[in-house]
Chains A and B, each alone.
Chain A
Amino acid sequence: MYLDSDRRPTLTPQLAVRVAIIGGIALVAFAVVFFRLWYLQVLSSDKYRAEANNNRTREIKVQAPRGEIVDREGRKLVDNSIGLAVKVSPDRLPESRAERRELYTRLSRVLGGDPMRMERSIERQLKALPFSSATAKQGVPLDVVSFLLERQEDFPGVTVEQEFLRRYPYHETGAHLFGTVGEVTREQLEDERYRGVDMGDRVGQSGIEYQYDRFLRGENGATRVQVDAMGNLTETLDRDRPKQGSQLRLSIDLDVQRAGQQALAGGTGRGAFVVMDVNNGEVRALGSHPSFDPNLFTKVIRKSDYERLSDPDLGAPLSNRAIQGAYPTGSTFKLITATAALEGGLITPDTFLFDGGSLTVGGVTFKNAGDAAYGTLALRQALTVSSDVFFYRLGLEANGAGDGLVLQTWAKRLGMGRKTGIDLPGELAGLIPTPRWRNALYRKKQTDRPWSAGDNINLSVGQGDLQANPLQLAVAYAAIANGGKVLSPRIGQRIEDAGGRALQELKAPAAPRLPIDGAYRQAIMEGLRGAASAPGGTSTDVFAGFPIPIAGKTGTAEKGLGRADQSWYVALAPYPSPKYVVAVTDEAGGFGAETAAPMARTILAELFGVTGDEGSEGGGVSD
């Protein structure tokens, strides 16, 4: 039976072929495996090495504190407080949705707030940054934190982290300068300006915080950790420490700022002021009333708070009237009319015009305030007593001379109707009324009549359609005082390290110099000086007994419709070589000398260190 078993079979050629085939298959298979390994391990190893590292490492963000903001003396205006934030870390969160929802409900019972909103917010954050923990609530008091930490098993995945919260120690003082911080928006994340900012970071959203955000925000740190396949942290690989943002020094003087805001608060409730160095445009103080507390924005602001701060009926405290106001300026505009008339060749400083108390043009009679009549007078006297008729005549003449735009041209040159270029966001350009502007409106049936000489007459005394803000007026007055430089006001002075050493000076763009005849400027300055010191000057009474010589102009802007007049005052001091310009307005303060000028006196007293200045009750009846 077993024929084959007892003798060794010779290796038949057939078997040899078949063994060779098996050997060949093995050879081919080994070759394929070798080439594949070569491809994977030699040609593509970098890619797979990167993938392996990517597999095992996770980055945990460490928030950088924002840089502090100091005033010109180095006093801290804005800094950071360390708050406790309750966070939810994704790796220890319950898997099931129902359990998570239960956790959010329990958590919101402890922290306050709506569980549904908490759930939405946390799930959104976790989706955006899957391995960083999501914030449930910021600025949680210590006793609540202790409560949570003592009951860890009831709150799986809930952790407490330190975080930096922006702090504004002076609350409403300087609020409009500093602005607010808020979570970076989706649009901002796509913007080049916000490179390096991560979702959920808080960045400047208004004011200086916004303007100088790239210096203030610093660089977030990161802790790189190694995780295993289950997502458990196995070791910490390295840390990039967060870098605090640079310190920003402002040209602001805290004392002047505070004095200005206190002065405004004593008015009718809505107003603004600016104090600026006339030679270099450094803003010493700038404020708007009503103000707000920017600390409200350091955590997530409540909707009701935001609505209250934006409500026009409550004075829209968030708006910065010093740069966003759109007001007629009243007689403070006469400085511009005077400059235009002199430079436009309509008058010389000694040209006498007759003020009979009123001027009738095209059937409309334009009268002096308080029915005064000053008789024959030249520019200096006209500024001092604030003769309207004198300037009506200039307005009328300007309307007919040349292109009829000499007032508008000089207003524009002196900074009206355009942004001053201050380093604050949200500035408004305002409006200089022109024939072209009004006629276009008339064609579109948005106004009842085309341009007439009366419009130019109104403009000459800062009434009518003119829209300007205190900062623009300050720039125009500074140009007359400094020899023609139209400055871009500056608030940011320099970027510093934490020790106050300068890292970078913040330079304003070079100011264009207007060719204004020195004699003309002199005449205007003398007129303004008279207004604050000569008998019959509109603010002489206000500055009686004030030790610093002031040159200044009152303004009373008519708002019509039965609304109270807006009070203005712009001061240059000290006369005759002014260093500062102070522009103040109170939206319903009546005559300039009544409300705005006394406010200016308070500010000037602080500015020049006049101690024990009791100020004065405004008393002028006319401007």
Chain B
Amino acid sequence: MQANSPVQGFHEPRTRILRIDPLLLLASIALAACGVYLVGTATQDDIPGSEYYYVYRQAAYAGVGLVLMLLLSRFDYSRVREWKAGLYTLMIGAILLVYVVGVSARGSKRAIELGFLNFQSSELGKLLLILALGAFVLDRMRRLDETETTSRLMLLALVPAMLVIAQPDLGSGLVYIAIALAILFVAGTKWTHFAALGVLGAAAVALVLVVAPAVGVEVLKPYQVDRLTAFLHPTDNPREQGYQINQSLTAVGSGGKTGRGDEATQTRLDFLPEHHTDFIFSVLGEEFGFVGAALVLSLFALLIWRSLRILTMSKNLYGALIAGGITAMLMFQIFVNVGMTIGIMPITGVPLPLLSYGGSSVLVTFMALGLLQSIHAQAREVAAAKGLNRDL
């Protein structure tokens, strides 16, 4: 930072800590704190006798996540590039492991029981995909304009995405695809390739939702299709698929401008389903109203803004690709989750980063934020080394 500092080495330890992005850190801690609080109010009556069951766990995950983030921020992400094949194999292996030893929850196998948490390998897979795919993209940077490159890279993402969707966990699978598209986009893949991917994607959706059921092939389970399309007509079937959306809309809407505080009956009386996981934003909306929701959304906006800024200042393209993948992961989860609670997105079971209860999600999000901090710190370090006083 101090370009004309007489003894550079002396400053190293202090500056390295200071080189992380303070605003990003602030947003992360604030959001995690909101998450712990909301999980606490949402679940205080869920388990009779142990009012703090979920809060303690969520607080512990956040604490561990915070430490992980700070550790990762001191580590030069660039070295990871060499482990790409290993990371990719680890990702596929972890996802497949769920099929073998996973525990069932509501008809789907998504997690491996690890004692202190139910480890959802698809969460960690998001991060592994970002790191591996970024590296693969770099290898083919010179042939980026070739259709073959785009196809191969997309295939690398589609394999884990399909394995996750088959768990079945449609939401996480779509996150993988979003990550891959974002990395290609940042790398500079031609517009025509995206157009082609768009057409293929639309055709795939049509095939799955319309053609396949018509010829009797069940790609998605019927409840998944219902959940996906229920937000288009929530009042059709208020007792079934529309129920969750209606209860969520009622919770958010009844929050009004400043929220219902202790009167938040939709949450307290269990009308709101999955209130500490998928619908944590509805809890926020009911209890703190528009003001609270806007505040938390602003923190998310801050998070996105800092991620994009880190993308632009990365010391190398690998960092930019990783930042792009992480930004896409966060944005996709934020908008799909929040959109679901306010009735403008289908119900896909995507957790809200840092807010939804769940160890895997919280830890992986903090690790992703740690990588962003690492990119930031590395960029600062290089800038400092070059004697450039760029205090962007």
User: Which residues of chain A have a CB within 8 Å of any CB of chain B?
Assistant: 2, 4-9, 11, 14-16, 18-19, 21-23, 25-26, 29-30, 32-34, 36-38, 40-42, 44-45, 47-49, 51-53, 55-56, 226-230, 234
User: B254–A33 contact, CB under 8 A?
Assistant: no
A233 to chain B: closest CB distance in Å? 11
B198 to chain A: closest CB distance in Å? 14
- Check if B271 is an interface residue, CB within 8 A of chain A: yes
Instruction: Return the contact of A234 from the options B269, B312, B314 (Cβ within 8 A).
Output: B269
User: Given A9-B316, A51-B253, 11 more contacts at CB 8 Å?
Assistant: A11-B313, A14-B188, A26-B301, A30-B301, A33-B335, A41-B285, A45-B255, A48-B254, A49-B254, A56-B271, A226-B269
B259 to chain A: closest CB distance in Å? 9
B contact residues around A36 at 8 Å (CB): 342-344
User: Which residues of chain B have a CB within 8 Å of any CB of chain A?
Assistant: 78, 81, 138, 141, 182, 185-186, 188, 247, 249-257, 265-266, 269-271, 285-286, 289-290, 293-294, 297, 301, 304-305, 308, 311-318, 320, 324, 327-328, 331, 335, 338-339, 342-344, 379, 382
Given A52-B250, A55-B265, are A15 and B256 also a contact pair (CB < 8 Å)?
no
User: A55–B271 contact, CB under 8 A?
Assistant: yes
A-B contact pairs, 26 of them (CB 8 A): A4-B138, A5-B138, A11-B313, A15-B188, A15-B312, A18-B188, A22-B308, A22-B328, A23-B305, A26-B331, A30-B301, A33-B339, A34-B294, A38-B290, A41-B252, A41-B253, A41-B255, A41-B285, A41-B293, A44-B253, A48-B249, A49-B253, A52-B254, A55-B250, A226-B265, A229-B269
User: A37–B269 contact, CB under 8 A?
Assistant: no
A291 to chain B: closest CB distance in Å? 54
List the B residue with the shortest CB-CB distance to A21. Answer: B185
Docked CA distance A455–B286 (Å): 86
Given A37-B252, A40-B253, A51-B254, are A230 and B270 also a contact pair (CB < 8 Å)?
yes
Docked CA distance A37–B281 (Å): 11
Given A22-B182, A29-B331, A44-B253, are A6 and B316 also a contact pair (CB < 8 Å)?
yes
User: A49–B324 contact, CB under 8 A?
Assistant: no
A contact residues around B297 at 8 Å (CB): 30, 33-34, 37
User: A8–B249 contact, CB under 8 A?
Assistant: no
| Total inter-chain residue pairs, C-beta < 8 Å | 144
Given A36-B344, A51-B254, are A41 and B289 also a contact pair (CB < 8 Å)?
yes
Docked CA distance A52–B304 (Å): 34
List the A residue with the shortest CB-CB distance to B273. Answer: A229
User: B265–A26 contact, CB under 8 A?
Assistant: no
User: B316–A19 contact, CB under 8 A?
Assistant: no
A559 to chain B: closest CB distance in Å? 68
Docked CA distance A45–B249 (Å): 10
A contact residues around B382 at 8 Å (CB): 8
Docked CA distance A422–B124 (Å): 88
Instruction: Return the contact of A56 from the options B186, B265, B285 (Cβ within 8 A).
Output: B265
Docked CA distance A230–B270 (Å): 8
User: A33–B317 contact, CB under 8 A?
Assistant: no
Main secondary structure of the interface of A (DSSP, over half): helix
A contact residues around B308 at 8 Å (CB): 19, 22-23, 26
List the B residue with the shortest CB-CB distance to A48. Answer: B253
Docked CA distance A30–B304 (Å): 11
User: B270–A45 contact, CB under 8 A?
Assistant: no
List the B residue with the shortest CB-CB distance to A12. Answer: B188
User: B316–A25 contact, CB under 8 A?
Assistant: no
Docked CA distance A38–B256 (Å): 9
User: A4–B312 contact, CB under 8 A?
Assistant: no
User: B254–A45 contact, CB under 8 A?
Assistant: yes
B contact residues around A228 at 8 Å (CB): 269-271
A383 to chain B: closest CB distance in Å? 81
List the A residue with the shortest CB-CB distance to B331. Answer: A26
User: A48–B252 contact, CB under 8 A?
Assistant: yes
A contact residues around B78 at 8 Å (CB): 5
User: A5–B81 contact, CB under 8 A?
Assistant: yes
List the B residue with the shortest CB-CB distance to A16. Answer: B312
A53 to chain B: closest CB distance in Å? 8
User: B185–A18 contact, CB under 8 A?
Assistant: yes
Instruction: Return the contact of B312 from the options A11, A29, A55 (Cβ within 8 A).
Output: A11
B contact residues around A30 at 8 Å (CB): 297, 301
B contact residues around A51 at 8 Å (CB): 250, 253-254
Docked CA distance A252–B42 (Å): 66
Docked CA distance A55–B273 (Å): 14
A contact residues around B312 at 8 Å (CB): 11, 15-16, 19
Give the 6 A-B residue pairs with the shortest CB-CB distance, closest first: A48-B253, A45-B256, A228-B269, A229-B270, A52-B254, A41-B290
